[in-house]
Every structure is written in structure tokens, then in C-alpha cells.
Structure 1
């Protein structure tokens, strides 16, 4: 008989039984670990959610949000423009509402004849207003090239002001006469007559009112 004669036949069965129990424990441990990683019914590959951040049902059955919404308050500065007081009839005209024209009474003046220029001011605004048509506001200047020969403001004997009420669309007209002499200072003392030739008359206005110049000749 061989060397196995006399061994317990049940020893082999117990050996394989212990191996099976050990293998089952390993499989069970692996399965438990896999279940713990997968989470409580979550999708595969997603990390476990923090139980503290997960919203749960409120006692009334209304879901409680997981986080309160953030409220941003923006302060806006409101600037209120102060309206300009409405202008009344009789107030000073807006220079943009006044159209001024000038025309020489002739293109050529004979010897000894004094040139005259007709100034016209028309109010185009919506209300009657006052406007200064005097030489301080509308200075007629006669030039010859770069030489300023005469100025109505220099030779005016008053304060240079003439305030007139201008009604809409009704022109105010005034005539300016030049005595064909040079104006110096306040036109005091001896003034020399000018020579025959071509001269230019322009209107100078502190309000920058544009007026077409006039070209004329003296004989």
C-alpha cells in the first residue's frame, strides 16, 4: 500500500471548505468596497455628494434650497438738471435768433458824397426781445487793405448803445453815415479826408454775428 494509507479521508474536504470560505470573504469585501464607492444609488463615475450640502425635504414638503441666493445691490446716483428759467418777452435776445444785414446805398460815391450803410436787424425767435443795435454791439468799420480807416464805434459821441425792442419778423433798420474822414481815437481834433479808391465796410460784433461785407468806391 502507498504512503497515503492511514490518512483521514475527511481532511481533504475540510481543506477545500476553508479555501471556499476564504475566497467568499474576499469577494464579499470587494463587493462592499465597490458599493461604498458608487454611493447611494448615484451615477457611475460621479463623486459622492456631501450630505451636509444636499437639500432635503422640509417638514411641509417644500424642497429647501441647498444655498441662499446672492443679492447684489447697486447704488445709482441720480443727477437732476436744473432747468433754465423761461425767458419772457422783453428779455435780451439770443444772438442766434437775430439776423443782421448791411447794404451800402451805392456801389460808387461821387466826390464829396458821403457813403451810407443801411443796417437791418430781424428777430427770428418766438418772442419779442431787446437787442442793442448801437455801434458798441454793431460796429461798422471801413478798411482799405490792412488799414482800418474808420469805425462807427470810435466816432460815436454817446455811450455806443441803442437798445431796441425787436418783435418777431419785424425788421429794425438804421442808417450809418461815413463823412469820408479818418477816425482816430474818439474822432476828436483834426481829421484828414481819405483819398479816392476802393474800400470795404464790415460789421464787427462782440456776439460774433456774421454780416456780409460791402465793397464800394469813392471818387
Structure 2
């Protein structure tokens, strides 16, 4: 047997039990750290994907809300308040009467459209049981006048009566002094609760 054989045997001695457990613990710690890193990466990726999805959902909801708010629909006449007011409570015979008209969209959360032409938005003037004038009748060809009314938005215009009696679309004599009523008319329907009183002197 050669002299150096015992030396080689000593170089291949097995590690001690303590060294074995230390190495095992270190390996487990490294594995635990790697698993934790993987879990953190997965959680971060999931959170990022969830945040992106939530952001897309919020953007979609906001877009739908904006479309709901901004896309106009046809006005429901029950949602339109028609205010009629003579410019003067007392007027001179033969001088004519101006009526201030206001249309307001009172309900809903969407703007709406309607035709505000003179054959749709009118005034009826009566005295006693007699009809003196109906502004929307006997009109020549009238072009539509599209109106866009947002919620609470008001459209204002003026309708003028020349102060003459009109029968069968023919102007007659000048209306006489007395008390008259002006009745709002929308699409041919009278709004009697909005009538106003004025006089001719």
C-alpha cells in the first residue's frame, strides 16, 4: 500500500451531521425565497390585470353614461313645460299683442328634440265663447324648426297677434276692447292650465 493512501481516504470523508442539516436548511430557505418571489410575481401580474380590467370597465361605464346623457331622443310632450305670457297685460286696440313663449324640458336625464315651428307651437286667443285667432292655423308651407332641449334647458320665442279677428283664414275687423284669454297650443293640443288673461283698451 502506498504511503499517500491514507491521505486520499481522509479527503473523501463524509460531511458531519451538522453540516448536512445546515446545507439542507439553506436549500429550503432558498426554495422558500424562490416560491415567495414566484407568488409575488403572480400576485403582481394578477393585480395589474385586474386593475387594467377594472379600468376598462370603468371607461365602458363612463362611455355608456356619456352616451346616455348626450344622445338626444324625441321629446315627450308630457315632459315639455309650455309657458305663455303676454308681453303687456294691457294693450291698445289695433296695435297687436306680443306673446312671450318658453318651452322647457322638465324631466329625464337626456336632451330631447322637437319641432318648434310656428305650425306646432302656437297661441289661441279667445274672448268669452268666441275664438278670435289661432296662430298655428292657416300657415303657408312651414319648414321644420328642430329644437334640442337639454334637461332644464329653455327655448324662448315670440308669437305676435296683429289684433284682428280671423275667420276661416281670412282677417276680419280689428278686435274690440275687452278681456281676452291666450291659450298655449302644442302640436294642436290646447294647454288650458297655461292660459293667460290680457285686455284690449
Structure 2 alignment gaps of length 5 or more? 1-67
- Separation in 2 of the partners of 1:132 and 1:159? 11
Distance 1:208 1:183, change over 3 A: closer
Structure 1 alignment gaps of length 5 or more? 1-85
- Separation in 2 of the partners of 1:146 and 1:160? 32
How far does residue 103 in structure 1 lie from its aligned partner after superposition?
0.8
Q: Of residues 117, 124, 133 in structure 2, which corresponds to 1:134?
A: 117
- The alignment's C-alpha RMSD in Å is 2.5
- Separation in 2 of the partners of 1:179 and 1:95? 28
Q: How does 1:70-219 map to 2 (within 5 A)?
A: 89-124=71-106, 125-159=108-142, 161-187=144-170, 191-205=172-186, 206=188, 211-219=193-201
Contact residue 94 and residue 175 of structure 2 kept, 8 A: no
- Separation in 2 of the partners of 1:160 and 1:198? 34
- The DSSP-based 3-state class of the residue aligned with 1:141 is strand
- The DSSP-based 3-state class of the residue aligned with 1:112 is coil
Contact residue 123 and residue 168 of structure 1 kept, 8 A: yes
TM, length-normalised to structure 1: 0.53
- Separation in 2 of the partners of 1:154 and 1:160? 14
The structure with the largest strand share of the pair is 2
- Separation in 1 of the partners of 2:179 and 2:128? 9
Say how many residue pairs are matched: 132
Contact residue 94 and residue 164 of structure 2 kept, 8 A: no
Structure of larger gyration radius: 1
Distance 1:95 1:102, change over 3 A: same
Contact residue 94 and residue 174 of structure 2 kept, 8 A: no
- Separation in 1 of the partners of 2:190 and 2:125? 18
| Deviation per residue, 1:45-89 (Å, 9 max, x gap) | xxxxxxxxxxxxxxxxxxxxxxxxxxxxxxxxxxxxxxxxx8972
TM, length-normalised to structure 2: 0.57
Distance 1:161 1:210, change over 3 A: farther
Structure with the larger RCO, 1 or 2 (CA within 8 Å, 6+ apart): 2
Contact residue 202 and residue 214 of structure 1 kept, 8 A: yes
Contact residue 93 and residue 175 of structure 2 kept, 8 A: no
Distance 1:176 1:211, change over 3 A: farther
